[in-house]
Structures are given as structure tokens and as C-alpha cells.
Amino acid sequence: MEYKEFLKTTLPHLGLRWRRFRSKSIRKRIIGRLNELGLHSFSQYQSYILKKEEERWFLTGLLTVTISRFWRNARLFQALENTWLPAVLGRTSENEPLKIWSAGCASGEEPYSLLILWLESFAGSGRELRLLASDSDSHCLERAQQGLYSASSFREMPLHLRQKYFTNEKGTFFLRHDLTQRIEWFEHNLIWEAPPSNNNIIFCRNLVYTYFMDELQKEITRRFHQALVPKGLLVVGRKDRLPYGTEGLFRLVDHPLYERIDSPETI
């Protein structure tokens, strides 16, 4: 069995789009895994995967990229600051905290960016922020709570913010320690776990709508719809789109932001 055939016939069992994984570096990772297991061909590895559920989860982890960066898609952060966070605050009761969930948060770059944006522009509003961040990979969550980053993570973040919130020690950037505790971290797998409820905004960027197959995307989109408050926002990656068949659940308001639709059929 050739590599392409292996991807085409195996990845649908994991709910993943096989075309995303054709690169040489991923092929190398999979061959490394075959060697670790003492297997000699892609077809042997496929039979092994189909028999062992743990191996399916292991392979999913091996395939998914965990790279992220602060202020990823800087234009989006500008739109959040100028338009969307004020809009969401405007339609939330003053006594309620704003609840934001970063799903698939990698090593924390996304939730910390949101926290810093909040501290810079909204902390003086007297409103409270509840920020949740989850990932299926416990190592990512550990790294997130350590708050140590290399210079490449800051490509898109305004320099004055990096200087204000991080200390540079020989090229490693340390996040101000008190910030790690402002976020509720938890391990969560989007494929089979129910999301936290009553979110005002859900961020799910460069994961579900990048790697997962359409059916799984639709199922998770339905769960996101239920997990948002009326008119809540779902924010996806710059190149992500919601799949066909979810038009009744979300409307695109300002790419990559979608707003929950609350028609009688969907609530």
C-alpha cells in the first residue's frame, strides 16, 4: 500500500481530511511511528490502527499541528477591539461576566492574546471577563501555563505589548506570571466531548474547519450553536469556512466571524 492510499483509506476513520496530510514531513512522522511499533508497511499499520482505538487517538495527535502565535490574524484583533467586543458587551447584562472560550488553544497564544487585548482596552469598563481555554493535548496546556515563548511567536503582536507583558531573557520570553491564573484551563477533545455552555464568543481557529471532515465539522458546528448565547459569535481561522449545511445556524458577519442565528427552527 502506498502512502497516499494509506491516507485515503485510514484518515476517514479518524474524521480527518486526508488531503491535508500529504506533506513529506508528516510522511516522515508516520514512518517513525511504524518503526517504533516494529511494523514494516503502511498496510500493517492500517490494520493495527483499525484494531486499536488508542492508536487512532495517538495518530490524530501526531498529525495535528500545534503551532500558534500571538495576535494571529492581527486584522481580526483590530476588529474585535473596535467593533465586536463593544457590540457583545453592549448586548450583555452589566452584571454578567463576558464568557469567551478558546477551543484548541495550543500553548496559550490565543487566549493570552485575548486577555491582553481585554486588559488594554476593556478592563477599565468595570465589566468582568471569564476566559476559558482548552486543548486535547495535555502537553500544550502545560506549556501554556508555563508561559514561555520564543521570538517567532510574536511575529504579529504589536511590539509595545510584548515589551509590556513579557520579559526577555536571552531570547526566551516569559509571560507576566499573574496572567496564567486569569484563564480557566482544561483538557477537552472537540470530537467527543460536550462544550461548556453559555459562551458569548467561541474561538475555534485552524483546527475543526481546517483538518476535520465535513460531517464532523457539521456536528461540532451544531454543538457550538447550542453552546453560544443568542447572537453569540463563533470565530474561525483566516482560511476557514463553515461547511455547507450550517447556513441555518450561523451567518457570516465579518470574516472570520460568524453570528449565531436564532430562528424558531434552530432554538
3-state secondary structure of 173: strand
**Smallest distance, ligand SAM to C-beta of residue 79, A:** 16
Nearer to ligand SAM, 189 or 198 (CB): 189
Distance of CA 190 to the CA centre of its chain: 10
Q: Could you report how far apart the first and last alpha carbons of the chain are, in Å?
A: 47
Nearer to ligand SAM, 56 or 127 (CB): 56
Positions touching ligand SAM (CB under 6 A) are 64-68, 72, 104-106, 110, 135-137, 140, 189-191, 205-207, 237
6: left (phi over 0), alpha (psi -120 to 50) or beta: alpha
Query: Treating both helix axes as pointing N-terminal to C-terminal, what angle do 53-63 and 24-37 enclose, rounded to 10 degrees?
Result: 150
Residue with cell 461548556: 196
**Smallest distance, ligand SAM to C-beta of residue 93, A:** 29
**Smallest distance, ligand SAM to C-beta of residue 141, A:** 9
Residues 6+ apart with CB under 8 A from 167: 173, 174, 176
Name 100's bridge partners: 131, 201
Nearer to ligand SAM, 217 or 246 (CB): 217
Nearer to ligand SAM, 66 or 266 (CB): 66
**Smallest distance, ligand SAM to C-beta of residue 1, A:** 25
Nearer to ligand SAM, 64 or 246 (CB): 64
Cα 145 from Cα 66, distance rounded (Å): 15
**Smallest distance, ligand SAM to C-beta of residue 39, A:** 24
